Amino acid sequence: MTTVSELLCGPPSSWVLDAARTKVGFATKTMWGLATVKGTFSDVEGAGELTAAHDVNGHLHIGAASLRTGIGKRDDHLRSADFFDVAKFPLIDVAVRGGVVEGTHTVELRATVTVKGVERSVDLATTATVLDDGAVRIVTHAEFDRHEFGVDGNLLGMVGGTARISADAVFTPRAVPSP
């Protein structure tokens, strides 16, 4: 199989996230729009399933405490109750409950994103590519109003309201147990 369309027309299958080949990051404007804070989350876990009805289901769990921007003091502040409140809300969740193939490598995923206990439905436009080793790479970018999720620390109005989230996730076929 060389395209996602062909994969989605195939038999049911299960997939597991390859965390070593996956990158989840964020970017948001600060300093009244003059600078951009970028960071990554290193603790990610996920799985997916292609059903007999040719639909897609899956999840991505992101450890909120694993965020890194390169500045320790800022990272600690982002982990605090002012922003992600990782002590109370350790996970950021993305649950996928369906998808529509829109082209050879394009799939619109229907997802629910949960941050700090607040859920929002979102359609994620993704580029999906079947890799040479049979894994599938899914790339997406989305913008969120961080205030909708209660991620609203903002000293003197310095931090913008929109956060751009990006994911480059690689899923490998789950091994089928021997009978």
pLDDT tens-digit profile of 109-137? 999 999 999 999 999 999 989 899 989 99
pLDDT of residue 33: 54
Q: What is the mean pLDDT of residues 25-54?
A: 83
Task: Enter the tokens of residue 136.
Answer: 């599938």
- pLDDT category, 172, cuts 50, 70, 90? very high
The pLDDT of residue 23 is 97
Calculate the CA 12 to chain-centre distance: 23
Q: Reply yes or no on whether the pLDDT at 156 is more than 50.
A: no
15-44 mean pLDDT: 86
pLDDT score for 44? 98
Amino acid residing at 118: V
What is the rounded average pLDDT of the residues 53-79?
91
Q: Which pLDDT band, with edges at 50, 70 and 90, does 4 fall under?
A: low
Domain ranges across the chain: 4-173
- Residue 61 has a pLDDT of 98
Query: What is the model's pLDDT at position 135?
Result: 92
By C-alpha distance, which of 82, 65, 63, 61 is closest to 146? 82
Q: Which CATH superfamily is domain 4-173 in?
A: Lipid/polyisoprenoid-binding, YceI-like (2.40.128.110)
Query: Which residue reads 């990272």 in tokens?
Result: 75
User: Is the sign of the CA dihedral 65, 95, 142, 157 positive or negative?
Assistant: negative
What radius of gyration, in Å, describes the C-alpha atoms of the chain? 17
Predicted confidence at residue 5, as pLDDT, reads 67
Does 67 score more than 60 pLDDT? yes
Q: Provide the pLDDT for residue 144.
A: 85
Q: How far is CA 4 from the centre of its chain?
A: 19
Please report where in the chains the tokens 């999840």 appear, as a residue: 59
Token pair for 131: 């890799």
The pLDDT value recorded for residue 146 is 72
Band the pLDDT of 177: cuts 50, 70, 90.
low
